[in-house]
Amino acid sequence: MALVSGLTSEETARYSRHIILPEIGLAGQARLKQASVLVVGAGGLGCPAALYLAAAGVGTIGLADFDKVEAHNLQRQVLHATADVGRPKTESGARHLHALNPNVRIVQHTEGVRPENAVELFARYDLIVDGSDNFPTRYLNTDAAFFAKRPLVYGSIFKFEGQVTVFDPHSGGPCYRCLFPEPPPPGSVPNCGEAGVLGALCGVIGSLQAMEAIKRLSGITDGLVGRLLVIDALTMSFRSLNVRKDPECPVCGGHASIRSIEPDRYAGGCAVDPVGSRVEQTTPDDTDEDFEQSPAPLEMEVHAAANLFKRRRARLLDVREPFELNICQIDGATHIPMRQIPQHIGNLPTDEPMLVFCHHGGRSRQVTQFLRAQGFEHVSNIRGGIDAWAREIAPEMQRY
């Protein structure tokens, strides 16, 4: 087939609705074909972003994710189907993107983004779309994008609120650390597994990220550089906030203190760590000795907790909501929803070891701290909650 400005006749027909836009035209569509985008995370934001990038004819799309598809992902991660449960997200995503547009090259990065590979990986692509869902990875991504000299399209969601912007400090705009110099205190912000998220909002934010990438790569505009778009899906209100480059930014400022990617700075990696930054780990062998101490460890590793419970050395306290019990539960655990703990505090033993758990460990850590303040010295939080229990202790258990 004849090439017209780098496009075959089939591609010209496929992208004709783009090409008739004067702002894009044949030249802009050809630039999209020659472009490469790395989508970090094939989850709630990465799925719709990748779909629209592939549909738009971006020549090379990288998918970086180490996770596998789970049933609870399907409420919002529209790149995957029920039959994909258990498959690597990159594999599932690549197959569906190729089915949508076989002209696009899909590259799978099954190891995800790690401090050891981030800068080199980002440097292979023209632009980064950040679909990560936790603070350590967001800081890693923005730092790596700066050192690789690549623009990064940022998106985030929380319950009914979403945010989108473009970080490109090398063109005079701010970076993520100009907006948030340091991560929030561990445990202060729940993840979507604890707080919930409106699935359709992921589609809105991910699509906006794709739109920002397409506009920039086709040469229309730099888009949201220097502006943060904030969306409230409950009221359907949109706000645009100006974000200035911080001259004292630790990464892109004039006297930067962060000059390289150091793995310890991004502890937790792509896994959300909703519990404390100072973790007191225990193992089954030292559990009994630790529980004889006063106070007991603030937090306990799931295997040690299961060992104590199996030997009837501690009580399990489930502080999840009633609807969560319909998904999965641990036989023998006492159930008191988090909000009801104060009114039931008189029914809890002060001298008996208790292990508190929720879904991922965020709510249960707050309950643990509350009970300790009330004089319960033998209370510990189970790190990772019932999700960790399902992964490590009872793999037959339904996860969510």
Domains along the sequence of the chain with CATH: 35-266 (3.40.50.720), 287-392 (3.40.250.10)
Q: Over range 179-192, report the average pLDDT.
A: 74
In this structure, are residues 144 and 122 in contact, taking their beta carbons and an 8 Å threshold? yes
Phi, psi torsion values for 368, nearest 5 degrees? -60, -45
Q: Say which residue the tokens 């995800």 belong to.
A: 112
Residue 186 has pLDDT above 80, yes or no: no
Residue 280 has pLDDT above 80, yes or no: no
To the question of pTM greater than 0.85 for the whole model, the response is no
Q: Over range 37-59, report the average pLDDT.
A: 98
pLDDT for res 184: 77
Q: How far apart are CA 241 and CA 228, in angstroms?
A: 5
Of all helices (H) and strands (E), which one includes residue 144? helix 135-148
Q: Over range 78-85, report the average pLDDT.
A: 97
User: Which positions are catalytic?
Assistant: 192, 358
Phi, psi torsion values for 108, nearest 5 degrees? -95, 130
pLDDT for res 60: 98
DSSP 47-67: HHHHHHHHHHT-SEEEEE---
Select from 274, 270, 276, 279 the least CA-distant residue to 301. 279
Residue type, 359: H
In this structure, are residues 393 and 302 in contact, taking their beta carbons and an 8 Å threshold? yes
Q: How far apart are CA 35 and CA 29, in angstroms?
A: 10
Q: Over range 319-348, report the average pLDDT.
A: 95
Q: How far apart are CA 275 and CA 387, in angstroms?
A: 14
Mean pLDDT of the chain: 91
In this structure, are residues 191 and 274 in contact, taking their beta carbons and an 8 Å threshold? yes
- Characterize the bridge pairing of strands 379-382 and 354-357: parallel
How far the first Cα of the chain sits from its last, in Å, is 49
Select from 146, 165, 145 the least CA-distant residue to 155. 165
Partnered with residue 123 across adjacent β-strands are none
Residue 215 has pLDDT above 60, yes or no: yes
Q: Say which residue the tokens 């809105």 belong to.
A: 204
Q: How far apart are CA 231 and CA 27, in angstroms?
A: 32
The more confident residue out of 59 and 264 is 59
pLDDT for res 194: 72
The more confident residue out of 269 and 132 is 132
Residue 360 has pLDDT above 70, yes or no: yes
Of all helices (H) and strands (E), which one includes residue 368? helix 362-373
